[in-house]
Amino acid sequence: MKTIIQKIDPENFQDEELDEACAILKNGGLVAFPTETVYGLGGDGLNPAASARIYAAKGRPSDNPLILHIASMDDLKEIAGEIPDGAYKLAESFWPGPMTMIFKKRESVPYETTGGLDTVAVRMPSHPVARELIRRSGVYIAAPSANLSGRPSPTKHEHVIEDLDGRIDMILASGPVGIGLESTIIDMSVPEPMLLRPGYITREMIESITGKIKVDPVVVSRTPLKDLKPKAPGMKYRHYAPRGDMEIIEGDEDQVVKKINSLTEECERKGIRAAVITTDENRDRYTCKNVYSVGARKTEGSIAAGVFDVLREMDHIGAQKIYAESFESDRLGMAIMNRMIKAAAYQIVDV
Ligand code: TXA
Ligand code: MG
């Protein structure tokens, strides 16, 4: 399949520039588009055939449900069965924006989109291209992250092209996204709301609106929990992992630098290509040839935006061994560490 790659300037585009993308969506085709979190792979969420195409293009297991993207609260009422008061409050505070809520689904939403579940995940994105695409097409856009299943989520259109060129109808190329980590997911279909995936909207921010919430134990676990099934099916799959073997080195900062330097020097002696994932503050302290910074520790947001790009870079340079520093686990750090730990397949070394 030939994929149309269409440039759209997110800060200055004419709505008509989205007409072809809208026509593709209405006809059951697939369009990758920017959101403020990561690029999404969009299709008509109420059309079972379009959902099936999304799974095929990504190589995604069909029990892993999709998020429906909407443009207004009226849209929400069309697809969600019961909307508790707390959800209205959260929507008022964080929509449009990087938060997804789970609701009981209405009949209009096919099981092909929800992976067979009676619930549906819904998000109202704030990115101007995403908003206009939903509004103009009149389609509730089902969109997982626009990567091949298992790879890091795409934060630039180049990442989408790398994974999906030739597999979908169109890619809207709008440059890098702002946040760089997928949305926070909170389950509002149960009596006590539960955080299923940490993101830019932190637990602390949610609790300031709803009061105390639960957190799915798998989200913060530092060891694989064999007997625990994550509530968000997607959290159980191998994810984000670079091809090389990745370890997180944790402890006193000076000790961590020392340990990583000795590990990469050993790799060099053995002819193994090693790489280091660090931050702006520490990048000059490493002796390894391949040192990559995810951003500055003093601005967590820059780290969030840099993580997936650096993980992809590991494959581009063919890193066989990857040593990464660790991050705090509260606020936005919870989301960053959640992704890093999965990328490292839970290999964490204490020094
Ligand atoms: O920021 C985002 O959320 C991006 C952009 C494109 O909006 N989308 C995204 O979609 O990250 P995806 O498919 O990569 O991740 C969706 C996650 C998966 O872990 C999935 O299992 C979970 O949401 N999910 C979807 N529907 C669910 C449901 N009904 N119940 C529980 N988890 C659900
Ligand atoms: Mg994804």
- Cα–Cα distances in angstroms (integers) from residue 123 to residues 68, 126, 167, 182, 278, in the given order: 6, 10, 25, 11, 32
Cα–Cα distance for residue pair 101/262, rounded to 1 Å: 45
Using a 6 Å cutoff on CB, does residue 257 contact ligand 1?
Answer: no
Tell the residue number behind the tokens 């293009």, with chain if given. 57
Report the alpha-carbon distance of residue 141 to residue 257 in Å, rounded.
Answer: 45
How confident is the model over 80-110, as pLDDT tens digits?
A: 999 999 999 999 999 999 999 999 999 999 9
Q: How far is the CA of 268 from the centre of ligand 2 (A)?
A: 34
* CA–centroid distance, residue 147 to ligand 2 (Å): 7
pLDDT band with cut points at 50, 70 and 90 for residue 161: very high
Residues 141-145: what's their mean pLDDT? 98
Over residues 138-164, the mean pLDDT reads 97
Strand partners, 214: 194
Q: Ligand 1 within 6 A of 144 CB?
A: yes
Which residue do the tokens 């061994």 mark?
321
Which residue, judged by its Cα, is nearest atom 31 of ligand 1? 232
| Residue 126 near ligand 1, beta carbon < 6 Å | no
- Residue 1: pLDDT above 80? yes
170 lines ligand 1 (CB under 6 A): no
Confidence at residue 238, expressed as pLDDT on a 0 to 100 scale: 65
For a substitution probing ligand 1, which of 35, 145, 151, 195 has the most ligand atoms within 8 Å of its CB? 145
> Which helix (H) or strand (E) is 78 found in, with range?
helix 73-79
Mean pLDDT of the chain: 95
pLDDT digits (tens, 9 = 90+) for 47-71: 999 999 999 999 999 889 999 999 9
What local confidence, expressed as pLDDT, does residue 261 receive? 98
User: How confident is the model at residue 153, as a pLDDT?
Assistant: 96
pLDDT at 179: 97
Q: So what's the pLDDT on residue 226?
A: 74
Q: Are 67 and 142 in contact (CB under 8 A)?
A: yes
Q: Is 37 helix (H, G, I), strand (E, B) or coil?
A: coil
Predicted model pTM: 0.96
pLDDT at 329 over 90: no
pLDDT of residue 230: 83
Question: Which ligand 1 atom sits nearest the alpha carbon of residue 231?
Answer: 31
Cβ neighbours of residue 70 closer than 8 Å, sequence gap 6 or more:
76, 79, 122, 123, 124, 134, 140
pLDDT digits (tens, 9 = 90+) for 224-263: 877 778 888 877 766 788 999 999 999 999 999 999 999 9
- Which residue's alpha carbon is nearest to atom 10 within ligand 1? 144
CA–centroid distance for 144 within its chain? 8
Mutation choice for ligand 1 from 185, 201, 339, CB with most ligand atoms inside 8 A: 185
**For a pLDDT cut of 70, what percent of the chain falls above it?**
99
- Each residue's pLDDT tens digit, 6-39: 999 999 999 999 999 999 999 999 999 999 999 9
Residue bearing the CA closest to ligand 1, atom 12: 144
Identify the residue whose C-alpha is closest to ligand 1 atom 17.
234
Other Cβ atoms less than 10 A from the Cβ of 2: the count is: 8
> Does ligand 1 have an atom closer than 6 angstroms to the CB of 28?
no
User: β-pairing, 274-278 with 291-293?
Assistant: parallel
Ligand 1 pocket residue status of 35, Cβ below 6 Å:
yes
